[in-house]
Amino acid sequence: MPRDFASRIPPWPRSDTADEAALLDVLRSRRWWRGNGTQGDDFEAAFADALDVAHVRLVSHGTAALELALSALGVGPGDEVIVPACTFVATASAVLRLGAWPIPVDVEPETLNIDVALIEPAIGPRTRCIVPVHMAGQAAAMPAILHIARRHGLAVVEDAAHAHGARAFGRPLGSIGEASIFSFQSGKLMTCGEGGAVATNRADVAAQSFALHSCGRPKGDTEYRHLMPTTNMRLTEFQAALLFGQLRRLPEEMALRDRNAPVFEAGLRDAGLEPLATKPHVERHGRYMTMAWFDPAAFGGADAAALSASLRRMGIPAFRCFPPVHRTEMFAGDALALLSGRSGRAPDYARMETPVAERAAREAIWFAHPLLLGDEALVADVAAAVASLRTPSRPTRQATQPESEPA
């Protein structure tokens, strides 16, 4: 089997001549800025339509979208926000940036989504909000999460950075909580290099969102009015122009991924891995990541970092699962002490135990979605390449392994 997959993986991000024309149009219009162009406004309307929500605000990054959504919902210094322990760090670091404390809650082993049974015990008098992540593109248990949130008067912000086009519970993901966020960073399912969005049906969140993303200024202001202390999170018109093509191609790409995913997952099972389970509530899986558990003992003791590095050396886009957010260095030492000044005493992160997230960091790897945009032969060959890394621990009848020892 060829060991270099790099040339076989479909290129990502994708673009076509319509994207080239759209970029050239913006270039020649000289309206490169959100303040005098129309691309940002038009894409906000198109994305709101696609999500069936009242309002979308485009911003510079998914991380910025989290900050915007949380601050529009009133999260501030000393508050607590419940986040899954297993996620990209932005879900938690955006909370820290607001002077609030993320409270990591462990995830379910089957899906790596937040474990609903562990949410209520993590709620305290300072809790303001729950931020479920639709991990890898699979819907978190939104009805149960909303139920808990209602009972405690909390807001829910969906982190839908992995979930463009995904659906569950009769709704597009990103349209279920008080607000949601998307990322358009280069690796995500829709991208313009860097970018993000906040979606919401809440008029008050929408009303604040323009000023919050634009130095505190209301839309159309020419008088240097600045309503609130915030930052600049505006997206350029070039980026907004690219997002139309990303949205247009999404259904076709989702269909391709849906076709290849079962073949890939079956191949991974044959290789001894256990792909995350898909819950019955999933109507459409985003398939941002193909995430799977493996047994390090079957791979010569390799942990997720080592196994994924071996796969990358073959040109396969494979990565270790995220470390638990509160095990990153920003949750220790000086980084945290700095925040404690303005936010009160930090929670005791060192003592918070999230065993499933800890195990995922060592024993789960993920494959990037462009793999699923190829054909069935590609995903089958990738799975076979994974299998080839297993340690031959048992005697096999293969003639190529004469040295295999007796049982």
Q: Which one, 172 or 196, has the nearer CB to ligand PLP?
A: 196
Pick one of 196, 245, 324, 347: the residue that binds ligand PLP (CB under 6 A).
Answer: 196
Pick between residue 162 and residue 213 the one whose CB is nearest to ligand PLP: 162
Can you read off the two tokens belonging to residue 131? Answer: 């931020």
Q: Which is nearer to ligand PLP, 321 or 383 (CB)?
A: 321
Q: Which is nearer to ligand PLP, 113 or 208 (CB)?
A: 113
Q: Is 183 in the site for ligand PLP (CB under 6 A)?
A: yes
Q: List helix spans (H) across 280-319.
A: 304-313
Which residue among the candidates 34, 134, 217, 369 is catalytic per the annotation?
217
Separation of alpha carbons 252 and 271, rounded Å: 29
Question: Binding to ligand PLP by residue 381, rule CB under 6 A?
Answer: no
Residues paired with residue 232 on neighbouring β-strands, in sequence order: 214
62 binds ligand PLP (CB under 6 A): yes
How many residues form the binding site for ligand PLP (CB under 6 A)?
14
Taking residues 85 to 114 in sequence order and writing x for each that binds ligand PLP by CB under 6 A, - otherwise, the string is --xx-xx-----------------------
Q: Does 61 bind ligand PLP (CB under 6 A)?
A: yes
**Residue 375 DSSP symbol:** -
Spatial distance between the Cα atoms of 299 and 301, rounded to a whole number of angstroms? 5
**180 backbone dihedrals φ, ψ, rounded to 5°:** -145, 165
Q: Shortest Cβ distance from residue 133 to ligand PLP (Å)?
A: 5
Task: Report the first-to-last Cα separation within the chain, whole angstroms.
Answer: 29
Q: Work out whether 367 is an interface residue with ligand PLP (CB under 6 A).
A: no
88 is catalytic: yes
Does 185 help bind ligand PLP (rule: CB under 6 A)?
yes
Annotated catalytic, 217?
yes
Among residues 30, 60, 6, the alpha carbon closest in space to that of 240 is found at 60
- Asked whether the beta carbons of 173 and 158 are under 8 A apart, the reply is yes
133 contacts ligand PLP (rule: CB under 6 A): yes
Nearest Cα to 126, choosing from 105, 99, 106, 146? 99
Residue 185 annotated as catalytic: yes
Name 368's bridge partners: 289
Q: Which residues on adjacent β-strands are paired with residue 81?
A: 102, 129
Query: Looking at the annotation, which residues are catalytic?
Result: 88, 159, 162, 185, 188, 217, 224, 234
